[in-house]
Structure 1
């Protein structure tokens, strides 16, 4: 018979392997074979659970002009990545003016940019209020026009403001962005991790058809030549990733 000391040694070797298998994210139906995770990603705690939906101000509530929309809505798969943007508005706005700012932005995106609607799926103001952006149903996965080459299976979140270097980013804004990311990212996605996605447009940093290794929560500048989402907000992306992960872990613990 084995001694207790020998059994302890065997279990000490087996338990870490069992934990490693448990932490693997589940594959979704139709997914390609996942790429081998980098060593740093394997030690992240599991964040399988999507967080609950936060309060969202609907398009009807902020006054979106539905007559500007002339094309059918395109839906996409559950979000594998989130791209953070800014709207380039001056930071000293009053949050009560956000609905009027959104209406002007919608008109600009359609008439000047040539899009059919607001490009971003969600917009968050500096008070942390979350607004529905592009139409089609904020509970669903609507393909936006936010990140050239990577609009499929992703969500675009824009922060209302400019966020130049040296400026402070309100905690409420960071929380609002993290809430949307924690909710919309597909099950098994870790907001602190990486994802590989294939470009669909040569206008991005990655030629069409080539694969990019991206942070699950990335800044617009990570994939397109731009200063968006502003230096100050870009510097807060690690904070946003951690907060989104915390929200998902907290949600799982409540189940």
Structure 2
């Protein structure tokens, strides 16, 4: 993992997050708890399921999954990079909205808040679920996670405090960042860079920075890049 910079909530004319996600979500929560809807919409009233938001079964919200409307905007805002695996997620292969604060009885209102969303591959989202030990990508600091280029496995930096070390290790385990699939993906990108199918057309480092930024950062840090890529970032515009 590498630090992820929080991106601002999208607004019109690009995407109306408040109108498409937050407002209908809050209105649904109001109706589910027997209150008047907070927006006008077509269709019958939503049946009351509880007296308080805290008493609602979180599964009820799956019927009102307005957060999925923000998926394209989320993918664009974070350049398609999974906040956990640090690989680009092709739109056809399963990007998902991860609620960092999971949808639980005490946090249902967070289901419709942009700041609670992290772009995640379906695999990473399934691994994380509601488990609290996973570090927030918005709070991860540069250098906490390193890569053994020979294995290639993710490992904690040696200089971490005991508390941070424990959390980094727990995150690696919970997300299965050293699973066969994750290691194979890193190896594939590494080999594409060093062993291109056409030697006259080597893969540029900027391609890795766009597709696998954690791997590219570690390759540069450890001097595992071609001489022309040692000095400055290959793609300063990103």
Give the structure-2-normalised TM-score.
0.26
Bigger fraction of residues in helix: 2
More strand by share: 1
Alignment TM-score, normalising by the size of structure 1: 0.24
